[in-house]
Structure 1
């Protein structure tokens, strides 16, 4: 089995990696969070509950900021590492990785000369101010608990400003000392009921929300701090733990200020679990008094004084073996070790699953753009080919959209032909008018040939509208398919500049194809204005003439035909109508063929040909501009890479520890 130091140290390293890589349980970036799956001990208590004193007793160091109002305004992840007795103890902040804060018991001025001896030998320096500068530059070892306290306050202000705001971003402090057990605690802002001057009214709810974000997690162990000189029923920490852990299986109760209770009273009902039962025994703590703090009583001496208090107390002597800060630290360390060991398999499973998900998303997003112009050109051409494949899939039926073109040919074009006003155009009145105008000053003698030609030419012109409308309708479909294809080409999504360039080039090409299709279809209509003899030879001549019912004789009676009567003009209208119908039937087949040849086929074959020519003329330095990424996509890739780095680091940390059952 891995040692306690290995288990807790493993979680410490993963927690530090989480903070360094931006994972502190914040869901705002819509990224998986490892922080929330790690077992933690959250220290919860109201203001003036003795929370800071409990932590200092566990650490055996006077290092936390003190003051009135809300002092803790950022979570403090306190990682304790037990080292050999006699070894040099020190503290390190995650945000100052190469700076050690040492010799907790001394003040800064008295310890400074001993920190500088190495460099005063190397440099002939007479000015004290210069000696101090050399020390800061060459020997980053800062001494005194007062500096640890000041750095916590300064780092808090760096994130929140001096406006007493709060922040969920944690501060990581590691303490290496022979007087601690291996343990990690998270000190949270004290629960409060009233905002102090300089804070928004929302700070009360903000603090509660922040504390809840920790204690709501099923992996969080709650260290609920309550003062013994107040009714346990009014404890802010117990009230909150009841809500999030009603069974009490994650809560450790700590009762402080036992020595400040009224004479003749004790806290046995609480400590023995009668007032409020938890699954773990309550632990009583006696902190240093304010007078002890003012006199700077040594923390080790304070621990001894606490032990003596419980052993000599008539109320608590029978509980002395499980009272005090030393016992509390060991209890928490052992429990945290057990929880970590139990949760390692599920954490490992989560890590492996999330690594797969992040790698899959990064594959979708794509790799960062290469700086080499040749590689950039290759990327551009590959993206164009990817777009072209998607566009062709739409046309060929692999994706939806291409069927709309057939809908234009099969529905819209025939419907448009049926709506053409040939009945009105070939009315007797209009035919007579057109024929008369064609005859001019000299009426036709037998057949109004010029009238026929004018009627046919003007009638065929009606087909031009549907022909052009067909070209335009197919053009609209093709443009829409270009737009959809750009959106559906996954690798292209991250390059908005290239998307716009491809869209512009494709639409320009489609405009050229449309113009070619328009000219071709109009020529098809115009060609039908040449009247072939064959059609008119087959038409019945003088349909109004009547043959039959004549008496048998050697000479037939002459038939009279009125070349200017309504019946004659109706015959002309009928003949022209038949010709126009014949042409219309042919155009219903020819127009789609022309449109497909000039627009659809060309779009499949050469949609981006002109764009490729333009790319070939560009300077190498211009390729990078085309590959400018969508800032949101760029940020997402960076976030995913950082989070993937975190999970892989956590996996490596876990793999480095030997687990045995």
Structure 2
């Protein structure tokens, strides 16, 4: 009997998915499932009835208003259980009510005619609410049931009638497409032979949402309605042979009950179906591709293989989801419903803010918050570095842009950079100063100058300082504000960041005003006072300037007297003295003007350096940077009133909902992980790949690339011929890199990841470990790549979910030659023991639609399990 072919392990595999679904994980992570899709009146209900043996309501042109999950399990005790899985959009109260839904069904003559109406009433469906996201769950167990779970979806339609409006069609389409587009959904596309294939929407959706046909099984119903010998019959037979619309899982054909035979028993129905497929044109199809018996086995095997394929990624998604929930809950923090909760929250945020801000001020960037200095974000968070670099730029700016007039010597060219309008030759500038001195004369003697003239000249010269210091003040404050916001976004919840930022910004604005006041204090002596300095560099700078000018004048006099060439002259000392004397300045006004300019320039250099240091230390550092860590500390928050604290820390409704959502999701995913971990501990994946030969006999041949024993042997010999040995010197090379070849290594690798990754995808009773990278990269990768390139044509390439298994057993204590099977070793059906003598071996198990394989060094039988080759 079909049910006898399915093991307890098979049931356990499907049960783990049901347990995961019962935890509610499907609200967050898609689960492996088979979804039954088709146009209205395509015969979906008849298919489910034939599979389960339970009567489904069948009424043409009537659209089901919700999805139905049919859970079939083989069990000695027959039982039926009906329940409702609440939709994701249900409130807690509604979910609780729907979860209690129960409808009694007579186990001796199960009929779901009344169940649908009761479910519609419980779901609150009416003219106002046409469709529901709730799922009607029907669990049926019995001695004849297969291990199978199906999700039946509402039928697609275009035209409306008195039972359904044409406006409802898009709602059904959206629901069906939502299920079909999930990558873990196997699509059972039900196509009625009574209608033109091209006009049935389900085929369009299947090819659109599964363009490569990797997870679609086509099901043709009502083949007996086609005229015998007609073109339409031939077309559907070709389709059933996977020659027209090609799906990797192929096609199946089922004969539905007719209106006249609607009340016949299941045994008579199956007999009539068998008679139909063993006569006429449909007899050309493989028995494994027609009939309800083989369909049960086929769907059961496909679902089993599909679950096995997706369990590792499913577990990975669960782990990722758990990590994301924990991170989000950490961000949200504890609930803040009471004043104490809010104060506690502010205490934590203020402490963490102060710690990170102090680290940024001190320049200790050890916390992960600061990120990488190579990124712009990481650099902006290194506040001390930003401030240091900004002040250094300020110093350079004052040096290059801080003068109102750039005074150059008469024989100097104008600088190529900078604003040319600020450049003036010394003679012209001295002349202007001379006129200014003449208009400002006091009681000073001729040849000297009024001390006040130095203040006037300096104040005019340092006018740009205000703009330059304002520019760096704004730049640093902007960096500080950005830094404070970044810290708050890191330590506070999203719903409180804006309010806390506003509070911190007010404190930083106050510090900014203190900086402005200090800058004014620092500018006042230069812009309003008279020059004061006791720095000996003032006289040194004046003397150096005069000495340099005298040296240039002396050099010019001597060159004018003796010429430009370097020759030996007989010198008249009197004439030389006379020539030098002619260069002396007898205009006392010009002399005083030159001297005043010298003193102004010398004082500017001293004052400029002092001003840059004063701004950096007394304004920026003392008034701003050092006062940043306390801008948000608990002492500053303590005086706040209760409304102010609530404004800062009370969580809004969306944050509370977000926390509840993530907490619920975390609980759900944690339960799911416990189920998966418990399953891993008690079950070996290896067993699920061992299928009974009777199951295999019911699988399609052409549709799923079956080959006979002769083809298997031929393929095995082909593999043997193409696997070249690895010489012992190569093994020596691996060991020299401290990466010995593997010992008893098993790979289970998805085709897409075959040449990119190495991971264990199976449980075995052997010692399983990951092969060293050097051995894989230098040997197995290239061998398998070359083998596949030579053996398989592009159209025969393994599909993404096919499996390639590589088993290697290398004897490390001798020079060995790695080949495809142990030399001088008789075939055996189990792996050799660890102490195998006579060499080492590699076995490639290549899934190409179940052509052939070498089973751990031994030629063995090949069975196709769904889409994956195993033995």
Give the structure-2-normalised TM-score.
Answer: 0.56
Q: Is the 8 A contact 1:104 1:144 kept in 2?
A: no
Cα separation, partners in 2 of 1:480 and 1:76, compared to 1, 3 Å: farther
Q: Is the 8 A contact 2:39 2:201 kept in 1?
A: yes
Residue 354 of structure 1, CA deviation? 4.8
Residue 74 of structure 1, CA deviation? 5.1
Distance 1:531 1:487 in 2: 43
Cα separation, partners in 2 of 1:241 and 1:369, compared to 1, 3 Å: closer
Residue number among 415, 426, 449 corresponding to 2:401 in the alignment: 415
Matched, 1:101 2:103: yes
Cα separation, partners in 2 of 1:629 and 1:53, compared to 1, 3 Å: same
Cα separation, partners in 2 of 1:181 and 1:610, compared to 1, 3 Å: closer
SS at match of 1:6: helix
Cα separation, partners in 2 of 1:659 and 1:399, compared to 1, 3 Å: farther
* Residue number in structure 1 paired with 2:139: 175
Distance 2:172 2:388 in 1: 58
Cα separation, partners in 2 of 1:217 and 1:198, compared to 1, 3 Å: closer
* Residue number in structure 2 paired with 1:306: 269
Out of 512-521 and 639-648, give the one that drifted further: 639-648
Residue number among 501, 504, 518 corresponding to 1:502 in the alignment: 504
Q: Is the 8 A contact 2:398 2:465 kept in 1?
A: no
Residue number among 36, 54, 68 corresponding to 1:43 in the alignment: 36
Larger relative contact order (Cα-Cα within 8 Å, sequence gap ≥ 6): 1
Residue 61 of structure 1, CA deviation? 4.3
Distance 1:594 1:302 in 2: 101
Matched, 1:659 2:683: yes
Distance 2:423 2:220 in 1: 100
Q: Is the 8 A contact 1:106 1:144 kept in 2?
A: no
Cα separation, partners in 2 of 1:396 and 1:574, compared to 1, 3 Å: farther
Gaps of 5+ in 1: 24-33, 108-142, 550-560
Residue 306 of structure 1, CA deviation? 1.8
* Residue number in structure 2 paired with 1:135: none
Q: Is the 8 A contact 1:44 1:190 kept in 2?
A: yes
Residue 654 of structure 1, CA deviation? 1.4
Distance 2:440 2:200 in 1: 108
* Residue number in structure 2 paired with 1:469: 467
* Residue number in structure 1 paired with 2:601: 581
Residue 81 of structure 1, CA deviation? 5.0
* Residue number in structure 2 paired with 1:149: 117
* Residue number in structure 2 paired with 1:52: 45
* Residue number in structure 2 paired with 1:139: none
Matched, 1:605 2:626: yes
RMSD: 4.7
Cα separation, partners in 2 of 1:154 and 1:453, compared to 1, 3 Å: farther
Q: Is the 8 A contact 1:256 1:287 kept in 2?
A: no
SS at match of 1:223: strand
Residue 269 of structure 1, CA deviation? 7.6
Distance 1:247 1:406 in 2: 62
* Residue number in structure 2 paired with 1:30: none
- 1:315-464 residue pairs with structure 2 within 5 A? 315=279, 325=292, 328-356=295-323, 359=326, 365=331, 367-368=333-334, 372-385=341-354, 386-390=356-360, 392-393=362-363, 399-400=385-386, 402-417=388-403, 419=405, 428=431, 431-432=434-435, 435-436=438-439, 439=442, 444=443, 446-447=445-446, 452-462=450-460
Number of corresponding residues: 573
Cα separation, partners in 2 of 1:536 and 1:8, compared to 1, 3 Å: closer
Residue 576 of structure 1, CA deviation? 2.1
Cα separation, partners in 2 of 1:248 and 1:472, compared to 1, 3 Å: closer
Q: Is the 8 A contact 2:194 2:226 kept in 1?
A: yes
Residue number among 223, 245, 257 corresponding to 1:287 in the alignment: 257
- 1:565-644 residue pairs with structure 2 within 5 A? 567-602=587-622, 603-607=624-628, 609=630, 612=633, 614-619=636-641, 622-628=644-650, 640-644=662-666
Give the structure-1-normalised TM-score.
Answer: 0.71
Q: Is the 8 A contact 2:192 2:221 kept in 1?
A: yes
Residue 247 of structure 1, CA deviation? 7.3
Residue number among 189, 201, 215 corresponding to 1:224 in the alignment: 189
Cα separation, partners in 2 of 1:72 and 1:496, compared to 1, 3 Å: farther
SS at match of 1:497: helix
Distance 2:191 2:381 in 1: 72
Distance 1:486 1:656 in 2: 47
Q: Is the 8 A contact 1:105 1:144 kept in 2?
A: no
Residue 480 of structure 1, CA deviation? 1.4
Distance 1:375 1:193 in 2: 59
Distance 1:606 1:488 in 2: 18
Residue 587 of structure 1, CA deviation? 1.6
Compare the two structures and name the one with the higher helix fraction: 1
- 1:122-201 residue pairs with structure 2 within 5 A? 145-152=113-120, 155=123, 157=125, 162=128, 169=133, 171=135, 173-178=137-142, 181-192=146-157
Q: Is the 8 A contact 1:74 1:189 kept in 2?
A: yes
